[in-house]
Amino acid sequence: MPVRDGLLALLDEGPKYGYQLKTEFEHATGGVWTLNVGQIYTTLDRLQRDGLVDATEADGQRSYQLTSDGRDALGAWWQATPVDEPPPRDELLLKVLLALGAGNDHAREVISRQRTALYELLQRHRRAQKPAAGQASRLVAEALLSRAEADLRWLDTCERSLNEGA
Amino acid sequence: MPVRDGLLALLDEGPKYGYQLKTEFEHATGGVWTLNVGQIYTTLDRLQRDGLVDATEADGQRSYQLTSDGRDALGAWWQATPVDEPPPRDELLLKVLLALGAGNDHAREVISRQRTALYELLQRHRRAQKPAAGQASRLVAEALLSRAEADLRWLDTCERSLNEGA
DNA sequence: ACGGGCATGTAACTGGTTACATGATTCA
DNA sequence: TGAATCATGTAACCAGTTACATGCCCGT
């Protein structure tokens, strides 16, 4: 629950009001993750419902802060590591697996199309935003690249398995 | 919408009934993605609501099949490639970015913990299920490995950026 | 008789997301 | 004055997910 936990993390620095959370969230992510303002408030409502946050009003400015339960939840989030069981429901993964089930030709076509798209993504991002650009957005771009390279390698594996297995 | 599209893909082979879709879905993914049976039916209802699927009943066996809209939607899904704008809301990514905002020490700790977990995941999967094990589950495992390696490299990048930027 | 797998469903909830409404303040 | 930004909120929808109920049929 990225948004939920993101708000908790930001609130750990101290009480904030809703709109402020929007700007800080976007700033923290280098501006690449925009957030509909409304979502902040719906999420804050739900956090309040769950007792992780409470609000105090003054001058029509509603200030939100972590409860001790909220601090616990946040601590747990920092500690949490990705689970691999069950493996994440990934779109690319599922698509290729199903394509394999639908016949080798179909699979080859799907793999080829995905590879092309990933390769273009790679080139596009390598060219762009090398210089300057805040630390956050640079890291986001590099995460994207790293994942794309991994997916490309995996697609190669799939094709190899397809050729051997046939 | 992995489940939704997964069912469409399976129905492309011909009419199926609900329970059959569950078993075939799980089989296609090497058994790593279990699916609550109920979800099949809720999803089929929604697909029917959207006109992508229709059902014909006989002997209490309800058979589902693609409509022509459904075939179109499926075709679009096969063609679709991952979008990078906005970048996927990824848990690890967000966590590290927010940790960076919360101070270098905190970031170092989070990065270190994530790295350890990913490294253990790597070792665990490298040891296990090398031999036999259907094509599907082997590919799933390799996708996991590939992604984990990418994330490890990215964490290295983050730490480097942390050390240089300070 | 009974347990287990086949088969169909439903009610309820979760978090993410958007479109929309409202008003205050600021500044050109 | 009027547009932009700050600020708060709500109603509605979406897909994913689970817990639960029901019944049939088959092999022991």
Strand ranges (E), A49-89: 53-58, 61-66
Q: What does the pLDDT look like over A86-120, one tens digit per residue?
A: 889 999 999 999 999 999 999 999 999 999 999 99
DSSP label at residue A66 = E
Would you say residue B166 has pLDDT above 60? no
Please give the backbone phi and psi of residue B123, each rounded to the nearest 5 degrees, phi first.
-65, -45
pLDDT mean across residues, chain B:
93
B95: contact with A, CB 8 A cutoff? yes
The distance (Å) linking the CA of A38 with the C1' of C19 is: 10
The distance (Å) linking the CA of A161 with the C1' of D6 is: 56
Contact state of A10 with B98 under an 8 Å Cβ cutoff: yes
Interfacial B residues in 25-54 facing A (CB < 8 Å): 28-30, 32-34
Give one word for A16, left, alpha or beta, with left for phi > 0 and alpha for psi -120 to 50. beta
State the Cα–Cα distance between residues B6 and A122, nearest whole angstrom.
27
Strand D nucleotides, any atom under 7 Å from protein beta carbons: they are 6-12, 15-21
Would you say residue B132 has pLDDT above 70? no
The distance (Å) linking the CA of B68 with the C1' of D9 is: 42
Look at residue B154 and give its three-state secondary structure: helix
Contact state of A140 with B101 under an 8 Å Cβ cutoff: no
* Residue-level pLDDT, tens digit, chain A, 166 residues: 999 999 999 999 999 999 999 999 999 999 889 999 999 999 999 999 999 999 998 877 899 999 999 999 999 999 999 888 888 999 999 999 999 999 999 999 999 999 999 999 999 988 876 666 788 999 999 999 999 999 999 999 999 999 886 5
Give B86 or A35, the one with higher predicted confidence: A35
Both structure tokens of B109: 């700790």
Look at residue B17 and give its three-state secondary structure: strand
| Nearest in space to B40 (alpha carbons), one of B64, B74, B13 | B64
CA distance to B75, B76, B131, per residue, from B79 (Å): 6, 5, 33
Contact state of B9 with A98 under an 8 Å Cβ cutoff: yes
Which contiguous run of DSSP H or E holds residue B64? strand B61-66
Q: How many C-beta atoms surround the C-beta of residue B164 within 10 A?
A: 8
Would you say residue B130 has pLDDT above 70? no
Contact state of A139 with B97 under an 8 Å Cβ cutoff: yes
Would you say residue B30 has pLDDT above 60? yes
State the Cα–Cα distance between residues B118 and A99, nearest whole angstrom.
29
B129 pLDDT tier (thresholds 50, 70, 90): low
Those residues whose beta carbons lie under 7 A from strand D are A 17-20, 23, 37-38, 41-42, 45, 57, 60-62, 89; B 1-4, 36-39, 42-43, 46, 50
Listing DSSP states for B91-107 in one string gives HHHHHHHHHHHT-HHHH
What confidence score (pLDDT) does residue A84 get? Answer: 84
Look at residue A93 and give its three-state secondary structure: helix
| pTM of the complete model beyond 0.95 | no
